[in-house]
Amino acid sequence: MTSPLTAAEQDAAFRPDHTDPLDWNDLIEALNRSGLPVDLSGVESGLPGQPGPAGIAMDSRAVRTGDLYVGVPGANRHGAEFAAAVVAAGAAGLLTDREGAELAGDLPAGTPVLVVRNVRDAVGPAAAAIYRNAGVGPRMYGITGTNGKTTTSYFLTSLLEAWGETTGLIGTIEIRAGRRTVPSTLTTPESTQLHALMAMMRQEQVSSAAMEVSSHAISYRRVAGLHFAVAGFTNLTQDHLDLHGSMEEYFAAKAGLFDARRTGRAVITLDGGPDAPDRDGTTWGTRMAAAAGCPIATLSLGPAADHGGTPLTGADWTVSSLEAIGLGYRFTLLHAASGRSVTASTGLPGRFNVANAALAAVMVFESLPGTEWDAVARVLDVPVGQGPFATAVPGRMEVVGQSPDGIVDFAHNPDGMVRALESVRDARQASGNTTGRTILVFGATGDRDRAKRPVMGRIAAEWADVVIVTDDDAHTEEPAGIRSEVLTGVREAARQAAGTGRRVEIHEASPRQDAIELAVSLATPADTVLLAGRGHETVQDMDGVVVALDDRVELRAALARHGFGPSSDSHGRGRKVDGS
């Protein structure tokens, strides 16, 4: 296992090769224009003759010489407590709130201290000014929602590349600026890093970039100071309630992306989640469309929707037809205002992949003048299994073995679990396999939303034939306790299944490597072994101890030990069947 990057190395990876210092007066003016008036009492004596900042950092360990250090209140300490040490190490000045200015102590004479009422609100605009991002840079596409962000972002960049753009990608799995890659540790990096990355993308001549925008990123203002040409909404299902407290608060956090000051246009999937429309047609998507503060275009999934196929009326775009071809789908998008129809396809099974592909396509169409639509439509109208929506997404329903099928997926919440298990069932049915079982290995994350643990357990027993409950990232919790909460839901659903004559085989195994070994030992060539929850991740956190663990590596090795072959991918990376 390679050593993790230090905070300084991680932060440095986001930065462009060079940034000219920004005059202090220009920085103060930018903050004032953003509605964040600066208290100049700590800066007046420091402005004359002082070079301005050429970078910005929130982590004291990542500050470079010439940076503006941002002291923000933290869970345990205020960042401004480290200001003296950071300035002594070369920071050009401090941006903080009134409390931080008092905690900073005695700084060297002439050190600029910019004081604002809410420092978190000021970080993004300050970073945008320092890296000269106002009104320049790549055309930004943001995707939010509980599930589908990663796959939609990959589909988006693939379509844009096929259309001729130089693309960037910011997400859970990786960050790319053209051909340059950056280590990714958060779905959405901090605002200081994002604005550095925007400058790097300009340097690398990136013309368009797709970004996964998590609810944490919106709540913690990580996307402050960025402007999205188009933002898309996939769906909303139970997740992250440890942060938001309720689905209503979770919804409100997501809705924050669709503010007119942040986004030029939104594409809202009306029926992208498992919630069938109420009698009045209300879903989380229809509510999001009503709440959006920017111009919107709406998308109805029709036959690709989870609720079964009747399109919601009044949508701007509709999936009007859906045809299963092999493992993939051909589908038609209909634009209501123009009557124009667009044919597209995805080689990945699962109706939710059609939903992801449709959203990606509509976001690109809505970002362009109508005169460009024909060229994009030609890129999309290709045979199933080819074109931009045949792209693979690491750790999203990644097939690493066949006979039995060995699949690794990132499904880590109730809706994601249903989608993964449903796609396994559909793929088996499509192949005519009537005897195979689904053997599921999964766990739940510690220090996170506990309410979803028994829910996911029930789903596992409702869909899988063999359920093996194991460990995910336990963080600071006792792993056995997490497994127990998951097993409560598994056993409850298994008892109900027994009443209908269906038997669910239940196991508990730890560590995770033993659970994977058990799953493969129980499998026959007709079965499917699904490892859910971790996807592309390569390390596991067990009470602060970092363990090297890649489900894909472990599953391949277990299959080989039991005499089963790898997937048919000649490169040994596994073919892909779908992604969420």
State the binding site.
60, 145-151, 187-188, 214, 222
Q: How far apart are CA 146 and CA 250, in angstroms?
A: 10
Collapsing DSSP to helix, strand or coil, 512 comes out as helix
Q: How far apart are CA 147 and CA 411, in angstroms?
A: 9
Tokens of 399: 């097939």
Buried b (16+ CB within 10 A) or exposed e, 348-378: bbbbbbbbbbbbbbbbbbbbeeeeebeebbe
Q: Where are the beta strands (DSSP E) in 456-562?
A: 466-469, 505-508, 528-532, 539-542, 545-548
Q: What residues form the annotated binding site for ATP?
A: 145-151
| Positive/negative CA dihedral, 216, 220, 226, 228 | positive
The amino acid that residue 424 corresponds to is: V
Q: Is the peptide bond before 511 cis (omega within 30 degrees of 0)?
A: yes
Q: How far apart are CA 100 and CA 45, in angstroms?
A: 19
Q: Are strands 67-70 and 93-96 parallel, antiparallel or unpaired?
A: parallel
Q: How many helices (H) and strands (E) are present in the chain, helices listed first?
A: 18, 23
Tokens of 99: 């409390």
Angle at 136 between CA 168 and CA 48, to 5 degrees: 120
Q: How far apart are CA 560 and CA 552, in angstroms?
A: 12
Neighbouring C-beta atoms of residue 517, cutoff 10 Å: 18
Cβ–Cβ < 8 Å for 378, 320: no
Cβ–Cβ < 8 Å for 181, 385: no
Angle at 463 between CA 459 and CA 464, to 5 degrees: 110
Neighbouring C-beta atoms of residue 422, cutoff 10 Å: 17
Q: How far apart are CA 562 and CA 432, in angstroms?
A: 25
The amino acid that residue 235 corresponds to is: N
Tokens of 531: 């490892």
The residue whose two tokens read 């959405």 is 188
Q: How many Cα atoms sit within 13 Å of 501 on the Cβ side?
A: 0
Q: Of the candidates 314, 332, 313, which has an alpha carbon nearest to the alpha carbon of residue 322?
A: 332
Q: How far apart are CA 530 and CA 145, in angstroms?
A: 24
The amino acid that residue 85 corresponds to is: A
Q: How far apart are CA 136 and CA 226, in angstroms?
A: 10
For residues 307, 309, 313 and 319, what is the CA-based torsion angle, rounded to 10 degrees? 120
Cβ–Cβ < 8 Å for 109, 317: no
The residue whose two tokens read 């750790």 is 395
